Each structure stands twice: as C-alpha cells, then as structure tokens.
Amino acid sequence: MQWVKVLGGAVGAAALLGLGIILGHFAMPKEADVPAPSISQDLDLEILETVMQHLDASRIRENLRELSKEPHLASSPRDEALVQVLLQRWKDPESGLDSAEAPAYQVLLSFPGQERPNLVTVVSPTGRVLFSCRQSEQNLTGEQAGPDVVPPYTAYAPPGTPQGLLVYANRGTEEDFTNLQTQGIKLEGTIALTRYGGAGRGAKAVNAAKYGVAGVLVYADPADINDGLSSANATFPNSWHLPPSGVERGSYFEYFGDPLTPYLPANPSSFLLDPDAAPGFPPIPTQPIGFDDAKILLCNLQGTVAPAAWQGALGCDYRLGPGFRSDGDFPADSQVNVSVHNRLELRNSSNVLGIIRGAVEPDRYVLYGNHRDSWVHGAVDPSSGTAVLLELSRVLGTLLKKGTWRPRRSIVFASWGAEEFGLIGSTEFTEEFFSKLQERTVAYINVDISVFANATLRAQGTPPVQSVIFAATKQIPAPSPVGLSIYDNWIRYSNRSSPAYGLVPSLGSLGAGSDYAPFVHFLGISSMDIAYTYDRSKTSARIYPTYHTAFDPFGYVDKFADPGFGSHQAMARTAGSVLLRLSDSLFLPLNVRDCGEPLRSFLQAAQQNLGARLEQHSISLGPLVTAVEKFEGAAAALDQHVSALQKGTPDPLQVRMLNDQLMLLERTFRNPRAFPEEQRYYSHVLWAPRTGSVATFPGLANACSRAMNTGLGSAAWAEVQRQLSILVVALEGAAATLRPVADL
Amino acid sequence: MQWVKVLGGAVGAAALLGLGIILGHFAMPKEADVPAPSISQDLDLEILETVMQHLDASRIRENLRELSKEPHLASSPRDEALVQVLLQRWKDPESGLDSAEAPAYQVLLSFPGQERPNLVTVVSPTGRVLFSCRQSEQNLTGEQAGPDVVPPYTAYAPPGTPQGLLVYANRGTEEDFTNLQTQGIKLEGTIALTRYGGAGRGAKAVNAAKYGVAGVLVYADPADINDGLSSANATFPNSWHLPPSGVERGSYFEYFGDPLTPYLPANPSSFLLDPDAAPGFPPIPTQPIGFDDAKILLCNLQGTVAPAAWQGALGCDYRLGPGFRSDGDFPADSQVNVSVHNRLELRNSSNVLGIIRGAVEPDRYVLYGNHRDSWVHGAVDPSSGTAVLLELSRVLGTLLKKGTWRPRRSIVFASWGAEEFGLIGSTEFTEEFFSKLQERTVAYINVDISVFANATLRAQGTPPVQSVIFAATKQIPAPSPVGLSIYDNWIRYSNRSSPAYGLVPSLGSLGAGSDYAPFVHFLGISSMDIAYTYDRSKTSARIYPTYHTAFDPFGYVDKFADPGFGSHQAMARTAGSVLLRLSDSLFLPLNVRDCGEPLRSFLQAAQQNLGARLEQHSISLGPLVTAVEKFEGAAAALDQHVSALQKGTPDPLQVRMLNDQLMLLERTFRNPRAFPEEQRYYSHVLWAPRTGSVATFPGLANACSRAMNTGLGSAAWAEVQRQLSILVVALEGAAATLRPVADL
C-alpha cells in the first residue's frame, strides 16, 4: 500500500502528487482492465428478477392456442408450419435470438394405412363381420375429425391381418403371459387384448409374440386412466377424463433415435439399416382401441375370471378367454381380426435451434429443449412445453435485442422433431454433434409437457442439478397456495430425508421417456426434466387422461389442466431461473457432492441385498466401498475448494478450470462398453435401465439378476465381477477428475 | 492519452497532480492486475535457450551407464531398483520435480522355463539328440552371462514340445505358407523356421497354426539385420553388427495392454479374463534362435530351392524342406524338436510418474513418456531414451527448484513399465485415468529408443504436431554436419512435397510400436514419437542389429551407436524444446490445418483406387469429398482466427477457448464403434491399422478390401457404406468443433 506512505508526507505538493496518484490509480481504468468486468460476469439478480416478472401467463396461453390449433404430427405440413413459426419468433428483430436454423434429418417414421385403414373386427365362424371397432375417435368438440387427425395406430407395428380367438392378457408383461399359459390357455394364434401400463408399449407385443400370440390389442382402462370413471358425462369435454372413444397412440419402437441409423445422424448420405432387418420393431401386428370398444370385446369373453389384480373398471368381470362366451353378443367361436396396414416412410423431420451467443464463454452451452411434434393437437403434450419455451425465449430475446443482457455462456434452445416416434430429432442431433456437445455442454434442461396439472413441481435429473433446481424454486412463488414458494409446495408432495440436508423435495431419476435420454445416456451430460403435475392423493391416473388421443386440444388445457395458466407461468419461471443460473453464474451451480447420496444408497442396497450372495461366489464389494469413499472424499474436498475460490479473488482461468471439473464429472460415468449392444446408446453406469429388483447400480443389478435367475453359472458370475470392475473404475476415474487438477 | 493534456496545463500544482496521476496509473500495479502477468505467461525464449544449453551429453552418458549396467527385464529386481533411481532423481531437492510416485499394476507377464529351459534340438529317427541349439548367447563381453540375462524366448508363446520335419517358411506371412502349400509341401505337423521381418511376431505363429504347423522357430537373418555380414570379426564387439549367437526376444501377444484386463486397469480388484481363454496369445509353441543355429538347420534342408526373395545371407541355398537332405549333417528323417516351457505369471509392474505443476493452467497436461524395461541390458532399447528423459527432467527440475521457471501447463514425465510385453504400463495408465487424460491432455511425446544411429532425426506423429516439431528442430544444431539445423539435416534424408509448405521433412504416421499407441488409438490424443536414426542409404538393417539381444550393453552405444553422445544431446534438446513449446506457449502450437494434407491424400487414394469399384455398388464418395472440404474450410478459418487473436490482445478465456479447440480436435476422430472388437483399443478413424493396400482411411480401406476379396457380397458392401458414413460423420463432427464456438 505504497500510496498511504505518500499521503503521510503531509506536504502540499506531495499531497497533490498523492491525490493524483490516488486518482490515477483508482479513477482511471487501465487498458488491461477493460475486459476484466466482462470476464468476471456473474449472475445478475436484477436481470433474473426482470425475467421472472416479464414471463407472462396470458402470452403463454396465446402461444398455446396457436401451437395447438391444428394437429401437428411429426413431419406433417402443420409440423413444418410450426417450424416456420419458431424460426420467425427466434429471428424477430425485437425479441429474437442471435441466430436460428431448422436442420432436417431424413428419418424412418410409421403411419397407419390410408387407402386401407386399420380395423379391428369380430368375425363369425362363417366369416361374417359381427362388429367393428371405431376407426377414429368420436367427434365431441368438432376437433376430432378432419384429415389431419391421424387415426389411432401403434407406430412401427408391422402390417398384417391376424385373426384368432381373443384372450385377455392384462398388461402384457412376460409374467402375464406365463400366468395365462399356466392356467392352460393355449396362446398360439390368439389375439391378446392388453391394457396400457405395466410393460412398455413395444414390450407387450414382444412378450406376446414369444408365446405365439398372433396380434395384440391395447386400450387404456378407465381404472388406470380415469380413476374408474367411464361415462360420457364424466369425461371430456365435461371433465378432464378420457372419453370412451379416446385411443392412446404411441410408438412401439423399442429403442430411441432413428431406427435405421443407430449412432449415425440420419443425413441423406448416411448408411441405412435394411428396414426388414432393423431391430426394435414390434414383431406382430398391434392396434390400440378405445375403452368403449374394449368393453364390448372384454365383457363378452368366456373362460376363467381373471385375477383380482387384472380387473378394471369396464363394469363387468374380466375373463381370460380364449374366445367369447356363448350367451354374449357374439357366437362362441367368433374370432377377432386385427387388420393393420401401417407403412414405414422416410420423412424429413426438422429440429429448430435458436442460439444466444455467450458473452464470455461462448463455447459453453446450456441446452434447453422441448419437442414440437404431437400425436394430434397435443395441447398438453408437447405444446404446453413449447408455449413456455416461446415465452421464455421472447423475454430473453427482448433483453438481448435491447442490449440489456447477454449471458456469460451460450444458450441453445431446441425444438425437437419426431420425439413421439422415439426421441428421434434429439437423438440425431446428439449423434451429429457428439464431440462438440460432449466437450462443451454444461447441462441439458428438458421441458416436454410443462403442465400436467396444478398441484406441484415434479423434477427428475442427475444429482449435480439438484442444487440449482432447489435454488431456483425457493425464489419463485407457487401458483397455489398463495405464500408458498414452488420449493415449499413441492416438499409437501414429494420429499425424502437427505443425510446432508435433512428433508428435501425428491428429485427423481431420469429414464428414457423424453428427449433428455440421448443427452444423459449417450453423451453423459447433466440433465433434468421438469413439469408441473398432479396431486397423487387425488388421482391414480397413469398419466393425464387424454394423453396421445384426439382429446388434447387447447380447450382441454384452458378449461381443465391449467385455467389461468398460472402453472405454465410457474414453469416458465422455474425453467428460466434454472437456465439463467446455469448460463450466467460465474461458478457453475452444479453440485458434484450431491452424487454422493445416490452412490451411498446404491452401495447400501448392494450390500444388503446382494452382498451375501456375492460372497458365496467369492465376489467382494470391498473395492466398491473404497471407490465410493474416494469419490465422496474428492467431492467434499472440491466443494471446499469451490467455497475458498468464491471467497477469494480467483483469476478467470481458475474459475474456468473448476467449472470444467464440475461440467465434465457426468461424462466420467460414461463407458460405451459397459452394457450389451442391445442396450443401444446406454453408457451411463449410474443411470442406465435396471431390470433387477435391487435398487443399486444398473450394471451390477442386471448382471446379478441374470446370474441368480438363469442357470448360466460361472460365466454369469464372471459378468457380475466384470460389471463391478467397470463400476469401480468409473468411480475411481470420476474421483480422479475431482481431485486437485495437477494430481494424478 | 489524457495525461498529455494534464501536463500541458503547466501549472506547478496541476503538474504535480498530473505527475501523481501518471505515476499512479502507470507505475503502480493494481490489485486486479496482479494475476495478469502470470495468466498471459508465454514461452520464454531465454528459458528455452537456457534449457538447450544445460542439456549435457556427458550427463546423458553417465545416466546410460547406470541405467544399462544390469539387465532390467520388466518386474525384475533391477527394474524395481531403477524405479527407485527415478523416484530419487525426481524427488531430489535441487533438481527434482514437484511430485513423483510409482504406482504398480498387477499384470500378466510371460517368462521362459527355469528348471526346464527352452530347447531346440535335432532328433534322429531313433530319438537320439543330434544337435542342440544354444540356450543362451555367447558371452563375448562378459555381460552375456549371469542369472539376470533372460534366456531367449518368445513371450506368451504357449508351452509344448512339438517335434516334426523342418520347413523353411521365409517370413511366416499368410502368403508364405500358401506358397509352400501350393508347392505341394505338407505343412501339417511340421516345424516352420521363419525369419524376422514381414509379418509381425505373433502373426508368424498365428499364420503357421492355420496351416497345421506344430511349432515355429524365428531368427534374424544377416541379410535383414547385418547388411549381410555374419562373421564374428565383423560383428559386435568388433562392430555394431549382430553376433552369430545373438537372439532377438520379443512379445508375441497380438494386442497391447495387460492380456487379462482389456479396457480395465490391472488393479488387484479388477476382473480378470481366464488366461486359458484370453485371446491374442500365439497358438503354438514358438522359440527364437540365433543365426548360427539357424544356419545349421537351414543349410541342411532338402527340397526345392526357395524363391530368390526368400534367400538370405547364411551362405547356402535356402531350401524349403520338409526335412533334411540325406547328404548333410543329419540323417534324412531327422526331426526338429521345439521344447518350450514358458510360464505365465501375474507380476507387479510399476510406472514412475513425475509431475511439474503448471503455473497458470495446471489442468492441461503435456505428457512425456519412455519405457523403462528392457529385454537384457537395453542400452539402446530403451535406456538411450531413459537417459535423455533423466537429463531433461534434471535441467527442468533445477530451474523449477531455483524458482527460475514453472511451466504454464503441467508436465507429466512417465517411465512406463512392461512395454516390451505389449505396452502394458502405458495402456493400464490410460485405462485408469481415461476421463482425466482425455479431457486434459494437450499432447503425448514418446521417446522410446532415443538414438538408433547418428544420421538424422526421424519423427512420427499425428498431423497437428508437425508444426511444433518443425519449429523446434529449426532452432537446434544437428550433431553433424556442423552448421546444419536438425531440421535442415532431416530434410536431406526424408522429405515430401507439401502443397502448403513446399519441401518439408516427412512426418511418419504412428503405428503401435511403442507407448504412444494407447494415447493415440484409445484416447485420441495428439501424439508423436521421435528418435535419431540411420542413414538408410548406408544400411538396410530392419532395426539396429543387436535389438532385443544380450548384445545391447552400454559399450554398444558408447562405441558404436553414438560415441560422444551428440545425438543423445540433440534428442534431449529436440524433445525438450517440443515439450517446452507445448507446455509454455500461450497459444498451443498445434496446427489443426495440417490435418488437411493427409485427409486430401487419403481422399485422392480412395477416389483413384476405389472410386470406380464403389460406383459399381452404388456407393458415392461425394459426401466424403464434401466432408473433407468442410474440414479444410473450418481449419483454414480457425487458423485465421488464431492469427487475429495473436495480433490482438485477447483475454485469457479467449485463448483458453481456442486452445481447447486445438487440443480436442484429435479426440473428435475417435469412434469406439468404428472398428471390430478384435481391433482392441483402436478407435481413431484416421490412424487405425490398415490391412487393405490402398493408402486411404483405414475403415474404408479394410472394408473395401474385405468386400473385394471375399465372397461376402452385399453384407460386405453394406459395411463399406457404413464405414464411409462413420468417416463422414467424424470429419463433419471434427469440422463442427473448429467452427466459431457459438455456431452449430
């Protein structure tokens, strides 16, 4: 502090000299200082507050009205028109982004027969058609007709016209079919009627085919989707419940991504699998029907009464079949014919990408994605999310164009194409830009359906994002009850006891239900999926009742799902706050220490449920215990390093180096050789799908499950040992990246 | 320039005030400035010059004397003693590094029989032993005896005692055996005598076994190793040539890395393959012999005279056999017995790692590696490299300990264990620290044998390292002739015409011959291998004559390979200069544009040699042309961006972002799904091994070669198309990472 001594001289001239020195030192910026203020740019709470204030419920409502006014099935003209809407918004000179583009992929989609529509009939022994299921939903609001409402079908089910006796197969799980077989029911050549839920869509057909079933029907039972209600009066448009004619569509493809270009972007020049040999399609014709039609089929079945757990709310005893009872609506030997005329087509499907260039670290990307394509009008799925996306991008774009704000890091908004067919647009994007995204992506925020219902936030994510979701939601008021934050409301509905924090809201883990899947499983990017959702004490519906049907127009949301759009606004604020915190905070708000609790919990589950059995096969969990401890130790030390840096005056590279450690941790859990080839894209050793019943590390759980339940013997136990090694190496490798960077 | 006006006021007080302002502004560092000088730390040419001056030939000589005074086979007591020598040097308070450690892996090595030594004999029809090959080399300098000289053997060859008629099979390639078969020679049950060269070591046994051969002998022919010389007078210790009793040892394992833990570090808890089922070991007993013994066997063979290309310099007509001629030293029906008693053992093998922490970007690593283990004394292989490594680390350590210098980035020196058995120490290291190394490694410098001979530099590397090697070698005097730089001397021996630069020295491409292999092929890290080597116009020796024999002691180097150690000093300077440039330059001296020339050349080779054939199968090279053009365009634009930044005053993050693009480019060429599982670790789509004859992209070359040469038909051509797509996606993905970072 040389200048203090100079001032202490107390001579006039010296004082003036000193004053000059002071002025020169403090009042005049040096040339070298110029970039400094931008280099240390941090989250600006005023900007954050401005964004929160400007996110407008009525604008979201208007977005939704426009987005959902017509059906916008992937690659349809209306879907392409929405691409232009998004481009226009993102290129708006007043409220647009820095740039926007709409690259298309050429992908394999599946559509129902047009000249020969799919049809399910009951056929008498003489070949007479006794009954036909509806080929479209009832036109209740004037929105269920028209050429753009795709008739109900199961995408990627093969064409064919199987005919046979009907059996009821509950949810079509492997266990369900075994059960039928055990009861002496001959499944060969039958048509199996199944209800949604339990097994995945495609799995119903895969399981059925294993037992020789010739065709599969699927319907949503009012017990599963409507809390038991089934009358026209009690359903849409009189309530949010599914009308009797509503049919849930869906993709029955077993993998995600374009079916013909696994691991390669579906560009016109890319190598294509032979569609006849490509794996993952349902093996037998499959068709969905409404519960009104299902009732006619099911309530006429003969045979044993199905187990209690197989019963539903169609108002009759569900019997197993095969075939119809003689005292019912059809002659006893009548069969069911399932005529499926689905066709595969290569179609162009676009993603829309909008970019806000980062001011300081443009090579760090925060991605925010929502899919654009719907099955029909898709007001809830996905346009509730698209409406939020557009409002958030408008508010941020406006600040950007005014020159008020530019984020520290780059923001990429994405409107994905063909999600409904299997997360295709997002997956192709991750395949095309694999290296770039893996090197540079801070996190992926997914908002698919933004609002299922008005009760509470629901969030799923990898552990490092928990802290930023908590921080954001603590600052945002819940749409109701008044006075509570989103966080405080959330914790009332879903919570857990955290060893580190006490009672906290439960962050779920990510499956593969939306576009986050390729980001987390293929790229190893910290990801989250957020939505506003139900009070589970008030409904047991599997999902919102009109999901994937023609009864999901604007009015459904406006009248039932979120009147006033307060929950949509809350979602825009939550997603916006998380986005800004990730893009603008000097220190990345990713807490790597929060990986510790799931690791511990997986470890304990393994010790308690598998330890003894493993010991019998001379497999020790000791190295895994050590690896978890090393991880915890390294994460705790890094956390202290973060705190120390935050208190000090770190140089920009110190912060960048730390942020790189935080950003890249999730990548260290990737191992493209960990899982079998059939688990396409899965490489995250913590969050890949788990088939075993023990809630532990997936590779270990699955290998143990196979070793215990099959007679494969030592080879299967060797695989358990291999999976354990893969896990230990991943955790030790992860811990190594958290240690001080010049250590090995 | 506000201060000029203030001075212009010419009032005393104002002047003083102004002077104060000036002093305050210019003379006093601001707090915010303090980190600035270090953050922009750049290569200091004075430090570089100091390092060049201090690298001392006589110290390298003394290092070599110590390192090679005893045999130091991997995991032997002397190998472990050298671990301690390295640790002691790197922990020296005056000249050591920041830290050093010696982690060990438990790896599967192979050793010759001890109680029952390996033995090759000629056995009469009655079972009498007529002749025995030597079991050890002749003790010519007093250094070829002693318990630490491992008897000649082929590591990982299985034990067994096959006996049969002898045939001569040239180099043991697939073609050689087909040739013998075509000539009507029954190979079943024979012993095949082969010479080194042509096929890889392990491949000779693999090929032989396919033809029913029961055992393999291998020797180095004087034509291949000694420029034809074979007399005792003309060989070591009278010259650098291989004495008649010298036997080349080597690993016959087909892969690299620990054989039992592919893709996993060989830690004690890691999953181990069953050694009886682990792939990659030679299928039949194999034993190496000296050319004196080979002469006795070969010059007594009966049968057709071998083709001219199969003849060597043993002073007789090489005949094919099978069996001995009746007028020779052995009865006509005598057989050769190959008794191999090799055993596999799990042994601890250490790497030694020494770290200099980076001052500014400690999370960026420049790796410098050399293996430590030898077959016998290993004065050339590898101790000539270890001697250089120790001298370079001493000079840098001294500057470090004095406080004179600390590199911008971290430097990691590595002394790898068990390289001779298959690059084991380095491979296990890359498996253990996969994520960390992949994220943070700038480049890997390999110096295995530093000096083969005194004629010229030889460098191999991935294209981005060409520029830094050129820059370094232009500044360093060649050991001879006086007045030429290493660069100017190099270009006289090996050059090519570069479209961009005109005549330049040839940078070779990297195979898998030393520890760079896991870095480039498994991790995708820019790598290089450098050595001083022969005048190829003066010798056609396959490699230095006493390679892997007991005739590679200190005196061999001191007297023949590099008397005066001038070439060793030149290598220390070259490696040191490259290392400092990579660790200290503000802008990474990796030139991504230099990838363009090999890409173009691969593309042209594909167009000229494969294009027509591909067209016949409706496969277009058009997308590949576009991808190469995109890459070239992006690389050129980035190059201009580099120049612009270098001329301006970029902030530290701008430089870091650019350097990340340069550092990570090589990673974008990785695709762990590109190559078949048998090509263990290979994932670099440009530099994986090529079996096809066309000098183009390896996946394309290999797939085309299979499609053209096998009758597999459409499936094989589909694989060609798939390989082309993999390549296009890799190049487009690479180009995407070179574009401005906020573009997609």
Low-confidence ranges of chain A (pLDDT < 70): 1-37
Indicate yes or no: CB of B744 within 8 angstroms of CB of A24.
Answer: no
Rounded CA separation A274/A277 (Å): 5
- pTM (two decimals): 0.94
What is the count of residue pairs from A and B with beta carbons less than 8 Å apart? 227
Place B710 in a pLDDT band, splitting at 50, 70 and 90: confident
A chain contacts of residue B20, beta-carbon cutoff 8 Å? 16-24
B681 token code pair: 């670790």
pLDDT per position as a tens digit, B219-244 = 999 999 999 999 999 999 999 999 99
Q: Is the pLDDT of residue B275 over 70?
A: yes
Indicate yes or no: CB of B17 within 8 angstroms of CB of A16.
Answer: yes
Q: From B624, which residue of chain A is nearest by alpha-carbon distance? A: A269
B173 token code pair: 């390639």
Task: Put residue A564 in one of left, alpha, beta given phi > 0 → left and psi -120 to 50 → alpha.
Answer: left
Q: Is the pLDDT of residue B11 over 70?
A: no
Q: Chain B: give the shortest CA distance to residue A422, in Å.
A: 22
pLDDT per position as a tens digit, B50-104 = 999 999 999 999 999 999 999 999 999 999 999 999 999 999 999 999 999 999 9
pLDDT per position as a tens digit, A459-495 = 999 999 999 999 999 999 999 999 999 999 999 999 9
Indicate yes or no: CB of A733 within 8 angstroms of CB of B39.
Answer: no
Closest by CA position to B687, among listed B529, B511, B465: B511
B chain contacts of residue A672, beta-carbon cutoff 8 Å? 672-673
Sort strands B215-219 and B191-195 into parallel, antiparallel or unpaired.
Answer: parallel
Does the CA dihedral B305-B326-B210-B224 come out positive or negative? negative
Contacts of A567 (CB under 8 A, 6+ apart): A450, A451, A453, A454, A479, A532
Which pLDDT belongs to residue A691?
A: 85
A269, A362, A726 ranked by CB distance to B728: nearest: A269
Angle, nearest 10°, between helix axes A174-182 and A201-210? 30
Q: Is the pLDDT of residue B4 over 60?
A: no
B chain contacts of residue A744, beta-carbon cutoff 8 Å? 101, 353, 355, 412, 433, 436
Got the DSSP string for A475-516? TSB-SSSTT-BHHHHHHHHSEEEETTTEEEEPPBPP-SSSTH
Average pLDDT of span B181-205: 96
Which pLDDT belongs to residue B530?
A: 98
B chain contacts of residue A434, beta-carbon cutoff 8 Å? 733
Angle, nearest 10°, between helix axes A714-738 and A652-664? 170
Q: What percent of chain B has pLDDT over 90?
A: 92
A421, A425, A428, A434: CA torsion to nearest 10 = -130
Task: Give yes or no for a contact between B655 and B587, defined as CB atoms under 8 angstroms apart.
Answer: yes
Sort strands A502-505 and B352-356 into parallel, antiparallel or unpaired.
Answer: unpaired
B386 token code pair: 């270890």
Closest by CA position to B101, among listed B90, B111, B92, B112: B90
A23, A431, A649 ranked by CB distance to B21: nearest: A23
pLDDT per position as a tens digit, B312-353 = 999 999 999 999 999 999 998 999 999 999 999 999 999 999
| DSSP letter assigned to residue A521 | I
Indicate yes or no: CB of A21 within 8 angstroms of CB of B24.
Answer: yes
Rounded CA separation A468/A475 (Å): 11
Burial class (CB in 10 A: 0-12, 13-18, 19+), B86: buried
Which pLDDT belongs to residue A1?
A: 29
Task: Give yes or no for a contact between B286 and B202, defined as CB atoms under 8 angstroms apart.
Answer: no
Task: Give yes or no for a contact between A582 and A43, defined as CB atoms under 8 angstroms apart.
Answer: no
A20, A623, A744 ranked by CB distance to B18: nearest: A20
Rounded CA separation B201/B248 (Å): 11
B600 sits in which H/E element: helix B596-616
B578 token code pair: 């490259």
| DSSP letter assigned to residue B592 | G
Q: Chain B: give the shortest CA distance to residue A354, in Å.
A: 10
Rounded CA separation B293/B312 (Å): 14
Which pLDDT belongs to residue B108?
A: 98
Closest by CA position to B190, among listed B200, B181, B199, B201: B181
B39, B362, B653 ranked by CB distance to A741: nearest: B362
A17, A431, A737 ranked by CB distance to B20: nearest: A17
Q: Which residues of A55-81 are buried (b: 16+ CB within 10 A; e: fewer)?
A: bbbebbbebbbebbebbbbbbbebbbe
Indicate yes or no: CB of A729 within 8 angstroms of CB of B358.
Answer: no
Rounded CA separation B324/B344 (Å): 34
B335: which strand partners?
A: B123
A30, A664, A733 ranked by CB distance to B434: nearest: A733
Rounded CA separation B744/B733 (Å): 10
Which pLDDT belongs to residue A714?
A: 87
A chain contacts of residue B733, beta-carbon cutoff 8 Å? 432-436
pLDDT per position as a tens digit, B428-466 = 999 999 999 999 999 999 999 999 999 999 999 999 999
Give the CA distances from residue B397 to residues A134, A487, B85, B389, B732, in Å, rounded to whole numbers and listed in that order.
83, 55, 15, 12, 43
Rounded CA separation A399/B51 (Å): 54
Q: From A352, which residue of chain B is nearest by alpha-carbon distance? A: B744
Rounded CA separation B203/B198 (Å): 10
Instruction: Look up tokens 């799931």; give the residue.
Output: A598
Indicate yes or no: CB of B436 within 8 angstroms of CB of A737.
Answer: yes
Task: Give yes or no for a contact between B168 and B219, defined as CB atoms under 8 angstroms apart.
Answer: no
B365 token code pair: 């690593």
Which pLDDT belongs to residue A744?
A: 74
Q: Which pairs with CB-CB distance under 8 Å and at least 24 residues apart come from A182-190?
A: A183/A304, A183/A320, A185/A303, A185/A320, A185/A321, A185/A322, A186/A322, A187/A211, A187/A212, A187/A213, A188/A212, A188/A213, A189/A162, A189/A164, A189/A165, A189/A213, A189/A214, A190/A164, A190/A165, A190/A166, A190/A214, A190/A321, A190/A322
A441 token code pair: 């992506």
Q: Chain A: give the shortest CA distance to residue B722, in Å.
A: 5
Rounded CA separation B641/B454 (Å): 40
Which pLDDT belongs to residue B38?
A: 82
A687, A689, A695, A697: CA torsion to nearest 10 = -50
Indicate yes or no: CB of B25 within 8 angstroms of CB of A24.
Answer: yes
Rounded CA separation A370/A351 (Å): 10
Burial class (CB in 10 A: 0-12, 13-18, 19+), A633: middle
B chain contacts of residue A39, beta-carbon cutoff 8 Å? 651-653
φ/ψ of B120, rounded to 5, equals -115, 125
B24, B32, B653 ranked by CB distance to A23: nearest: B24
Rounded CA separation B730/B671 (Å): 8
How many residues are given for chain B? 744
Q: Chain B: give the shortest CA distance to residue A34, in Å.
A: 10
| Interface-testing mutation among B436, B638, B682, with chain A (most A C-beta atoms within 10 A) | B436
Contacts of A137 (CB under 8 A, 6+ apart): A144, A149, A152, A243, A245, A246, A247, A290, A549, A550, A551
B chain contacts of residue A729, beta-carbon cutoff 8 Å? 264-265, 270, 431-432
Indicate yes or no: CB of A19 within 8 angstroms of CB of B20.
Answer: yes
Rounded CA separation B712/B322 (Å): 35
Got the DSSP string for A620-649? -SHHHHHHHHHHHHHHHHHHHHHHHHHHS-
Give the CA distances from residue B565 to residues B64, B480, B547, in Å, rounded to whole numbers and listed in that order.
10, 12, 19
Active site residue ranges of B: 419
Active site residue ranges of A: 419
Indicate yes or no: CB of B742 within 8 angstroms of CB of A439.
Answer: no
Give the CA distances from residue B34 to residues A29, A110, A647, B235, B335, in Å, rounded to whole numbers and listed in that order.
15, 63, 17, 64, 81
Rounded CA separation B108/B139 (Å): 30
Rounded CA separation A597/A591 (Å): 12
Q: Chain A: give the shortest CA distance to residue B33, in Å.
A: 8
ipTM for the assembly = 0.93
Q: What is the 3-state secondary structure (H, E, C) of B88-124?
A: HHHCCCCCCCCEEECCEEEEEEEECCCCCCCEEEEEC
Q: Chain A: give the shortest CA distance to residue B694, in Å.
A: 22
